[in-house]
A and B are shown apart, each in its own frame.
Chain A
């Protein structure tokens, strides 16, 4: 029996694969001038892959393939589009950085595309093996990307640490998954949902725990986070942006799928685990970020803390019909987080181009020297802190909404922790804002070019429009969360 192929449903993946191969061949065959074309090809490819996503969305039909292991529904399409756009913005961030550095160019974009390909597959995966394959397709290229600056020891350290963690977490996750398969006799999430561990709930809880630990590494949730600051700091900055947004989001999407389509009925097994991960990530991430003097490390801890906020709705999803509001909250938070964090990285890259530094103090007086970058960066930082009227407030709002929708004491306690620490967070975001606006420009000696390159301006503009428009009219994203909710 040949499996059923729906080529329309697979079109985004096919386009992306084709473009990746074309980019590889172009780089390989036309060595000189061809290499310059690779980033353009990659960019066009990402946008081209969006076309079938939209036609599929317009079609509106849910397409199921491979016995339900690969599903193209609104949820999958929303995230496919999201990953393609995030990939495109990451590409914009990389363009000048990679071109100006003494790096190989072609491979960079090929690896980036491959990773995005994994993410698009991830959005549709409804099967443990498919999820695993997608996750590895996401991760493997990023190990190489993290070590891109191969003459830099920090970059080497970043890659090695990231690689070891990646392998370790995969091993743990696979072990958990194999136990689950042993008990439910299937790798399909829908089957796992039905059997819910069968007659051995205790072992099933252990299996869920191990799987969740694996994911916790991927999304750098405390206490499985310690690799993140070093990896983020050592990696080339555009790669850091990609890791902290795209690959993190991919981890969350996998987690969301596994929880909602697979583990959901065994509430008692996954809720407490996620509760602890969320609370610890929020507390440790925010407190550690307070002490950072390097902007990349600060953003690394900030992304750990933000990851904690994304975990909050998941940690209460199983109580009192809070499923829908939690599901929406996670999706909306991921979308908004991506926009503001990518934007923040664009500003950091722009500033580092000029100052050759990533110290927080290198932002001193930016409001005087390049007001446009300073205004943009301030908006992203305020948004990350959750201050209206920028999109971050809505992300926090839907998070609190899910907590109170659940309404249990445990949920409310988590909500109060989140509320208190979202205030603490302003302290370090505000520190950068203070540097930019309240301080005199520091004498930096020799500085790089003042002008922000076009690609970075484009990245900043796209993300800023999202942050401002969604902040004022959040319904645009709210609708995505609404339609993506699966009828389980």
Chain B
């Protein structure tokens, strides 16, 4: 057999696909067999991930590792090129961990209309798309995986979602499709204008945009920006997110928050910044502006919500604002913070959606005015919710802090941008420092809405209508699904260097073009 490095990534992408095929073959009546197959598939994928973790060369995180580069569509010069570096690795592992947890969580309560076969097949297809996006090193391949993610999520929201699911699912689909259509046009523009006609992300990154005129870079970056910003989602393209999250089944929300949103931010870091550095420099202050608007706007929207899931959804807008602010500084410090923020947000917001889903399952409502006294009715779940809220608001010692705080800090010293809003470095510096102050205010608002939510849902006495209802505390399958995430939140909070040490080298190599 060839060495593990040669087939690991291919296997990671396609094992879930094989699992999906198996799930489709097994007759619908054999539910246990279906569930076991799906779980085993995701665990095998995770095992490959652990193998990758063990075999990864941590001294060369900037270098693409586990590379596969084969001919795929010679006519258009698209290649089957996979590889990971220090930025893809944490996100890849995050995906591989989240999926089996989602399957375990669903084990005994599949949302209406039940049908575990279709549901699990879609989760596995989703995993193919997510993993593929994080490991693709060819723009066409990236595009394919980026789009493959759409289908399962569309069905997951549309079939298993809440009352307004049709509207939410089509909105989600159309928004993302619109972005990716223009993104594709931009990809082709890059292909034809770059010095070498290639879709290879490594090669294009090494070229650092040479050969593409500045004005063209600005235009092409706009195309990429739309594609990625809609996925993140950044203000003002975020409007699909609250609807999608509110209507999606619990597991759908978790996957959406934990992984899908990261595809957008990852796209910025992997593709937009290194390939079009001059475009990025022009756009960076504007991206920063939209990020801080997102932070404040998301927070204010949170304060106006009555639906718990919708509140968490808007908090995602705010948190992704921090991530994007880190990226907009175009510094390695900011990008390190951004990648950490992506992982932390994945763990924490994923957990929050899990808890919100479990509460809905018990109370049959997410209306915060009707909920209350969770600490009394189900103390363990109450504490978990409190813990996640603390982590989400950025309490030092938990993972959320290391995503948020360095991102804010990075805005103090953005990359020396010759093309600031006012046209000089000085003004850019002060623009970003203003952003920093606004973002800092955003962290206060975050504390405000999260504590307010916790107060309304967790504290106090249970409302009269639920006094007699028997509210189950955390189930065994919930414990199994949640424990790894909770451990992750603590461990990465205490030892942030576990992630920073991996991302740092890769982040520096991405910002190389801006340091000059």
A residues adjacent to B (C-beta < 8 A): 328, 382, 385, 387-389, 393-394, 396-398, 400-401, 403-405, 407, 415-416, 419-420, 422-423, 426-427, 430, 434, 437-438, 473-475, 478-479, 481-482
Contact = CB atoms under 8 A, between A and B. Distances in A.
Contact of B188 (A400, A426, A475): A400
Given A401-B188, A478-B76, A388 B174 contact: no
Contacts of A385: 177
B192 A404 contact: yes
B184 A388 contact: no
B72 A388 contact: no
A396 B151 CA distance: 18
Contacts of B174: 423, 426-427, 430
7 closest pairs, A vs B, by CB? Answer: A478-B75, A419-B181, A404-B188, A388-B144, A388-B147, A423-B178, A438-B158
Given A427-B174, A430-B173, A478-B76, A387 B150 contact: yes
B75 A437 contact: no
Contacts of B76: 397-398, 401, 478
Contacts of A389: 144, 147-148
Contacts of A420: 178, 181
Contact of A437 (B73, B144, B150, B159): B159
A437 B158 contact: yes
Contact of A419 (B147, B150, B182): B182
A393 B181 CA distance: 10
B165 interface: yes
B147 A400 contact: no
Nearest to B72: A475
B494 interface: no
Contacts of B184: 396-397, 400, 419
A293 to B, nearest CB: 17
B73 A423 contact: no
26 contacts: A382-B151, A387-B147, A388-B144, A393-B147, A397-B76, A398-B76, A400-B185, A401-B76, A401-B188, A401-B191, A403-B185, A403-B188, A404-B185, A404-B191, A404-B192, A419-B182, A419-B185, A422-B181, A426-B177, A430-B170, A437-B158, A438-B158, A438-B169, A478-B73, A478-B76, A479-B75
Contacts of A396: 184
B23 to A, nearest CB: 14
Given A388-B144, A401-B188, A404-B192, 18 more contacts: A393-B144, A401-B76, A403-B185, A415-B185, A416-B182, A416-B185, A422-B181, A423-B181, A426-B173, A430-B174, A434-B158, A434-B166, A438-B158, A438-B165, A475-B74, A475-B75, A478-B73, A478-B74
B155 A437 contact: yes
Measured as residues with beta carbon below 8 angstroms from the partner, the interface class of chain B is: 20 to 34
Given A400-B185, A437-B155, A328 B177 contact: no
B143 interface: yes
Contacts of A482: 75
Interface string B121-158: 00000000000000000001001100110110001001
A427 B72 CA distance: 31
A419 B189 CA distance: 14
Contacts of A387: 147, 150-151, 177
B185 A434 contact: no
Nearest to A475: B73
Interface string B173-197: 1100110011011001101100000
